[in-house]
Amino acid sequence: MELAVMPEDDGSRLDRFLRRQLPHFNQGIIERALRQGDIRVGGRKVKSNHRVVANERITIQDRLIAMSPPSRDKPTAPQALQIDPRLAHDQLEKMEVARTADWIAYNKPAGLAVQGGTATKRHFDGLLGAAFGANRPRLVHRIDKDTSGLVLVARTLASARALTEAFRTHEISKSYIALVTGDTSESGVCDAAVIKAGAAGQEKMIVDEKAGQPAQTRYLRLEKAGRVSLMALQPITGRTHQLRVHMAHLGCPILGDRKYGASPVDGFAKKLHLHAQFMRLPDGTILSAPITDASAAHFATAIEILSWAALIPQQMPRFSVKKKH
């Protein structure tokens, strides 16, 4: 099993990173595995206090995964999933929206995790490994499993470092399209600080102005019909579940987002209606990924039901920065 370190995990202690990714690994298992070389960073043995760096790859021996004992209150470790390279190649080819010598952009379908972890056997990074082998592109950011849309990967180590730094310094901007329930102003900025709370396996982000990390989201309402609104969203920071918790904080949770309090709406699927639509790179290149049956059939169906296809932005929206909440 292999894990990639994302920009938001840069600088974390290795043991804490592993416990977040694999909650069934206690500190004793991690320490012993590191001493024996069953867990390696970039192919080398390190200690538990090693500070991980974005784009590092952490290898965990499959036998260690298999030996990890299940418990009553912790999930069982996933078994390694063997993927047919030809099938992985075909799946990625259908997702691809653009490529250069430095990167490839994909339109990830909803329901496919970007990385492996507890109980996650099939994931986007695994498809990359199966299709490309030793020349696999490197992840430089991630989006939630249930979010569809743009995922950018680097084809070289140099481009991985450059893109990771660009994400870290916010030189890369992104915008999302979402359906939300409830009422909010037509445009504005939510700058509520957020922090992770809850027991292991049940964590969620909450707003906490005192202890939370700074977070900022720009939003623009494109249309409204009854309880449902079409929104364009731009995360200025990149906190976990930021768009989801900010929309819930504004009183308009994303349609289908039961984790953050969205109530079902008759006629619409109980799935997250959130799509990463645009990305602007430092050189001015703008990438786009459409909402399709392949990437998010439930979202495409909702747009058709509402007759809002003509309202989906065809270029990156301009967001107001005047109002704050």
pLDDT tens digit string along 125-144? 999 999 998 888 999 999 99
C-alpha torsion sign, points 284, 232, 234, 152: negative
**Which residues make up the CATH 3.10.290.10 domain(s) of the chain?**
2-67
What's residue 74's pLDDT?
45
- 144 is annotated as an active-site residue: yes
What's residue 68's pLDDT?
52
Within 10 angstroms of residue 107's Cβ, the number of other Cβ atoms is 25
CB 17 within 8 A of CB 8: no
| CA–CA dist 123, 112 (Å, integer) | 6
SS3 30: helix
Question: Given 10, 102, 144, 208, which residue is catalytic?
Answer: 144
| CA–CA dist 143, 277 (Å, integer) | 12
pLDDT means per 10 residues in the chain (325 residues)? 77 85 81 90 90 84 63 46 86 97 98 79 90 90 95 94 90 97 88 86 86 94 94 94 96 95 92 98 97 97 97 92 56
| Pairing assessment for the beta strands 217-225 and 103-108 based on DSSP bridges | unpaired
pLDDT tens digit string along 176-196? 999 999 887 889 999 999 998
**Which residues make up the CATH 3.30.2350.10 domain(s) of the chain?**
85-168, 173-311
List the one residue out of 248, 183, 244, 223 whose CA is nearest residue 306.
Answer: 223
| CA–CA dist 120, 211 (Å, integer) | 31
Class of domain 85-168: alpha beta
pTM beyond 0.85: the answer is no
What's residue 57's pLDDT?
84
Q: What would be the CATH architecture of the domain defined by 173-311? A: 2-Layer Sandwich (3.30)
CATH homologous superfamily for the domain 2-67:
RNA-binding S4 domain (3.10.290.10)
- Burial bucket for residue 301 (CB in 10 Å: 0-12, 13-18, 19+): middle
What's residue 177's pLDDT?
98
